[in-house]
Amino acid sequence: MAKKHILIVPGDGIGQEVTTVGKQVLDRIAEKFGHEFTYDEALIGHVAIEATGDPLPEETLVKMRASDAILFGAVGHPKYDNDPSAKVRPEQGLLKMRKELGLYANLRPIKLFDELLEASSIKPEILKGSDILFFRELTGDVYFGKRERLDDGNTAYDTMIYSKYEVERIARKAFEAARTRSKKLMSVDKANVLESSRLWREVIQKIAPEYPDVEVEHQFIDAAAMLLIKDPRRFDVVVTGNLFGDILTDEASQIAGSMGMLASASVGDSTGVYEPIHGSAHDITGKGVANPLASVLSAALLLDISFGLKAEADAIIAAVDKVLKDGFRTRDIANSETPADKILGTDAMGAELLKHL
Amino acid sequence: MAKKHILIVPGDGIGQEVTTVGKQVLDRIAEKFGHEFTYDEALIGHVAIEATGDPLPEETLVKMRASDAILFGAVGHPKYDNDPSAKVRPEQGLLKMRKELGLYANLRPIKLFDELLEASSIKPEILKGSDILFFRELTGDVYFGKRERLDDGNTAYDTMIYSKYEVERIARKAFEAARTRSKKLMSVDKANVLESSRLWREVIQKIAPEYPDVEVEHQFIDAAAMLLIKDPRRFDVVVTGNLFGDILTDEASQIAGSMGMLASASVGDSTGVYEPIHGSAHDITGKGVANPLASVLSAALLLDISFGLKAEADAIIAAVDKVLKDGFRTRDIANSETPADKILGTDAMGAELLKHL
Ligand SMILES: CC(C)[C@H](C(=O)O)[C@@H](O)C(=O)O
Ligand SMILES: CC(C)[C@H](C(=O)O)[C@@H](O)C(=O)O
């Protein structure tokens, strides 16, 4: 029996709606498997700016540090996107959280549910059997290098920067994972142009001999973005930097048919953060149609990775599989053949899921 | 009747094989339409390093400046990719050429030949009707910012940098093009994180009112990489920076079924450079199987953009269409249903094409 304290950080937009379902699922798991989960909630992003002026209030950070794991929603608001000169921005909260908690490894499993094989824009025969695990570095790169305006505001730069120890610690996580899977690791960089990528590649090459059972392949980011669509089965464990990882994993969401199905785990020095890879989606916020399954699957990752509760995580995945097999869909994963009464809103999908837990 | 001097720069790998066919097509066009094209040839990349020690010898640059247009092959060699510490690299020649010739606008039309609708890994019903024109900025960004090793070689950085005038000149080209098409422009950046992207977005927003007939949409690079696969028809004219453009256009090649079909034009202050978007492909070099159609279509772009010879360019595109309609394929665009006698090598595909010119 596990006794754990979980912090729910819904953030912006549909974050609130989907984490509500994620928490219901955690609750049900605690009940069913006899664990004791306590919860607290905290603000981040646009809602935190509105309430306190700060996208990551000190109070949130204190609660994060005091928790055993964090179930996270999403961050962002269109208001800032259309105002490039805004000084305080929701994303600053997200980036600061990653840095402060030392969340240097972002794991994004791209798992295809059989039932959704047809939901993708990619041909089923190309997709079938795809199973990818991304390791995106999360606390370095151009996300955290120095940035500045020069020349009376007419020039702007950002610094893409990596140190060897940063590459090494994420690479080791990826090599270890490759060992437990197909023993294939793809490292993605742009070493034909970038010095930071050449450093990246050097580190991978240096530690590779310590994992002689793992076959290493290097790809340039442009080629990888192309190959991911052309031949997704060629990918297994992938390790890459923060920016390239951001791009590749969003692109890879199309392999799973929808962003609404994909969960991620951010881990590192302390408390892990579990969140959907989708964003705040303000266009559908408040309509009750958001797909809660990515948050539910994030809860499964949380149980598995932070608490070591594998059977509990598997029970959640099986329940997701079951509702899909029963034909239930949220709007984003429905198609023209889905009967209208099988298209569920956020809460109804949550309720359907709970029936199988 | 036009009198023009064309420089052929085959570069590395399959560059030699495919530009040979491209040149044959230019020759035939000259003959048929009564133009006088003279040619010269020059070295770049790995072959130039081998011959002179310099990836862009001064002699090549002089010839480039003296020509009316350049038909380019590809640059790169696996030898350097596996040696991150190499000081002299083929790609330096390519980047220096872009900078020296002021080739700030890279145009990449993603045009789908009907016959190849099935060649893509994306579903035909998603693809049908896609027609995208990318404007990739080509002489700025992290490709040309300061890069360096620090800290005894343990840290490396690259600088992602843009000045307003650089964004403005490429944006104007894209806005102008949008006017001649569906009047839709998508600008891609990462303004929720990067200062250089916020500057990019500011410039787009500032000049947009001068093109009131063009509808502007901003997307983040991660979302764009996802949407491109989910819904390619949503894209029409796209403008983006050098790095994001590199990634997105390679990814977009899958819309056309193969890299082997895509041409690009790099234009700016002086002589334009026309080249396939594929690379040197050393794995198939010398085997005579490379698809020459991207080089052929690059020749068409050359005639159209640098010489204003639209009818001549259209004749080439029609010939490509015809050989595809006749069922001929190179290996990269063939599928399991292509009869063996319709699968042609590089030269045979060239010969087949010339029959229709
Ligand atoms: C919101 C944004 C800053 C963030 C990122 O780029 O990391 C998001 O796209 C993600 O992938 O978590
Ligand atoms: C070879 C490489 C440096 C080049 C680039 O990144 O620009 C290539 O990928 C391209 O797109 O022309």
Give per-residue pLDDT as tens, B133-173: 999 999 999 999 999 999 999 999 999 999 999 999 999 99
* Cα-based distances in Å from B7 to A12, A76, B39, B177: 56, 50, 6, 27
- Nearest-by-CA chain B residue for A142: B194
**Which of B250, B303, B259, B252 has its CA nearest to residue B69?**
B303
Q: Are B70 and B53 in contact, with CB atoms under 8 Å apart?
A: no
Q: How far is the CA of B143 from the centre of ligand 2 (A)?
A: 10
- Interior angle at CA A260, CA A258 and CA A263, nearest 5: 110
Residues in binding site of B for substrate: 98, 108, 136, 222
**A216-230 as b/e: b if 16+ CB within 10 A:** bebbbbbbbbbbbbb
| Tokens matching residue B60 | 């090549």
Confidence at residue B197, expressed as pLDDT on a 0 to 100 scale: 98
- Nearest-by-CA chain A residue for B143: A193
pLDDT tens, position by position, B20-60:
999 999 999 999 999 999 999 999 999 999 999 999 999 99
Least confident interval from A182-191, A261-270, B81-90, B325-334 = B81-90
Confidence at residue A97, expressed as pLDDT on a 0 to 100 scale: 97
**Model confidence at B267: pLDDT above 90:** yes
pTM of the model: 0.95
- Interior angle at CA B249, CA A223 and CA B110, nearest 5: 125
For the CA of A250, the closest atom of ligand 1 is 11
Q: How many Å lie between the alpha carbon of B351 and the closest alpha carbon of chain A?
A: 29
Q: How far is the CA of B238 from the centre of ligand 1 (A)?
A: 22
Q: Are B100 and B61 in contact, with CB atoms under 8 Å apart?
A: yes
Q: What percent of chain A has pLDDT over 90?
A: 91
Distance of CA A351 to the CA centre of its chain: 24
Confidence at residue A168, expressed as pLDDT on a 0 to 100 scale: 98
Contact B230 A160 (CB under 8 A): no
**Model confidence at B335: pLDDT above 90:** no
Confidence at residue A86, expressed as pLDDT on a 0 to 100 scale: 85
Per DSSP bridges, beta strands A215-220 and A105-111 are unpaired
Q: Hey, is A232 helix, strand or coil?
A: helix
**Model confidence at A136: pLDDT above 90:** yes
What residues pair up with A36 in beta bridges, in sequence order?
Answer: A3
**Model confidence at B251: pLDDT above 80:** yes
Instruction: Give rounded-to-5 percent helix, strand, coil for chain B.
Output: 45, 20, 30
What is B271-335 written as a DSSP string?
Answer: -EEEEESS---TTTTTTT----HHHHHHHHHIIIIIT--HHHHHHHHHHHHHHHHTT-B-GGG--
pLDDT tens, position by position, B205-228:
999 999 999 999 999 999 999 999
Q: Hey, is B338 helix, strand or coil?
A: coil
Domains and CATH numbers, chain A: 1-113+259-357 (3.40.718.10), 121-255 (3.40.718.10)
Q: Where residue B85 falls among pLDDT bands split at 50, 70, 90?
A: confident
Q: How many Å lie between the alpha carbon of B249 and the closest alpha carbon of chain A?
A: 8
The terminus-to-terminus CA distance of chain A in angstroms comes to 18
Q: Where residue B294 falls among pLDDT bands split at 50, 70, 90?
A: very high
Task: For chain A, state the CA radius of gyration.
Answer: 20
Phi-psi category of residue B34: left, alpha or beta, with phi > 0 → left and psi -120 to 50 → alpha: left
**Model confidence at A82: pLDDT above 90:** no
Q: H or E stretch including B83?
A: none
Confidence at residue B258, expressed as pLDDT on a 0 to 100 scale: 81
Q: How many Å lie between the alpha carbon of A309 and the closest alpha carbon of chain B?
A: 32
Per DSSP bridges, beta strands B263-267 and B272-276 are antiparallel
User: Which residues in chain B have Cβ-Cβ distances shorter than 8 Å to A84?
Assistant: 191, 197-199, 201-202, 205
Pocket of ligand 1 (CB under 6 A): A 75-76, 91, 94, 246; B 192-193, 222
Q: Which residue among A46, A77, A91, A251 has the greatest number of ligand 1 atoms within 8 angstroms of its CB, and so is best to mutate? A: A91
Q: How far apart are CA A166 and CA B154, in angstroms?
A: 10
**Model confidence at A266: pLDDT above 90:** yes
Q: H or E stretch including A69?
A: strand A69-74
- Nearest-by-CA chain B residue for A278: B223
What residues pair up with A3 in beta bridges, in sequence order?
Answer: A36
Spell out the alpha helix ranges (H) of chain A: 15-33, 46-52, 58-66, 78-81, 90-100, 124-127, 164-180, 195-207, 221-230, 242-252, 293-301, 310-325, 346-354
**Model confidence at B235: pLDDT above 80:** yes
Whose alpha carbon is nearest atom 7 of ligand 1? A246
Amino acid at A254: Q
Q: How many Å lie between the alpha carbon of B108 and the closest alpha carbon of chain A?
A: 14
What residues pair up with A219 in beta bridges, in sequence order?
Answer: A188
Confidence at residue A259, expressed as pLDDT on a 0 to 100 scale: 84
What is the number of alpha carbons within 13 Å of residue A59 lying toward its C-beta? 11
Whose alpha carbon is nearest atom 1 of ligand 2? B91
Q: How far apart are CA B102 and CA B271, in angstroms?
A: 9
Q: How far apart are CA B310 and CA B300, in angstroms?
A: 8
**Residue of A161, A165, A193 with shortest CB distance to B143:** A193
Q: Where residue B84 falls among pLDDT bands split at 50, 70, 90?
A: confident
Q: How far is the CA of A180 from the centre of ligand 1 (A)?
A: 28
Q: Are A263 and A62 in contact, with CB atoms under 8 Å apart?
A: no
Average pLDDT over residues A151-180: 97
The mean pLDDT value of chain A amounts to 96
**Model confidence at B116: pLDDT above 80:** yes
pLDDT tens, position by position, A245-260:
999 999 999 998 888 8
Q: Where residue B260 falls among pLDDT bands split at 50, 70, 90?
A: confident
What residues pair up with B250 in beta bridges, in sequence order?
Answer: none
What is the number of alpha carbons within 13 Å of residue A22 lying toward its C-beta? 36
Q: How far is the CA of B214 from the centre of ligand 2 (A)?
A: 30
What residues pair up with B41 in beta bridges, in sequence order?
Answer: B8
Q: What percent of chain A has pLDDT over 70?
A: 100
Q: What is the dihedral of CA B239, B74, A239, A186, to 10 degrees?
A: 140
Contact B163 A154 (CB under 8 A): yes
Confidence at residue A270, expressed as pLDDT on a 0 to 100 scale: 85
**Which of A68, A46, A62, A105 has its CA nearest to residue A265?**
A105
Residue in the structure block whose two tokens are 């190849």: B116
**Residue of B230, B246, B248 with shortest CB distance to A121:** B230
Confidence at residue A1, expressed as pLDDT on a 0 to 100 scale: 87
Q: Are A155 and B145 in contact, with CB atoms under 8 Å apart?
A: no
pLDDT tens, position by position, B178-187:
999 999 999 9
Contact B121 A159 (CB under 8 A): no
Phi-psi category of residue A257: left, alpha or beta, with phi > 0 → left and psi -120 to 50 → alpha: left
Contact B159 A162 (CB under 8 A): no
Ligand (nearest to CA of A280): 1
Confidence at residue B257, expressed as pLDDT on a 0 to 100 scale: 81
**Model confidence at B82: pLDDT above 80:** no
pLDDT tens, position by position, A302-320:
999 999 999 999 999 999 9
Confidence at residue B86, expressed as pLDDT on a 0 to 100 scale: 85
Q: How far apart are CA B311 and CA B273, in angstroms?
A: 20
- Nearest-by-CA chain A residue for B91: A192
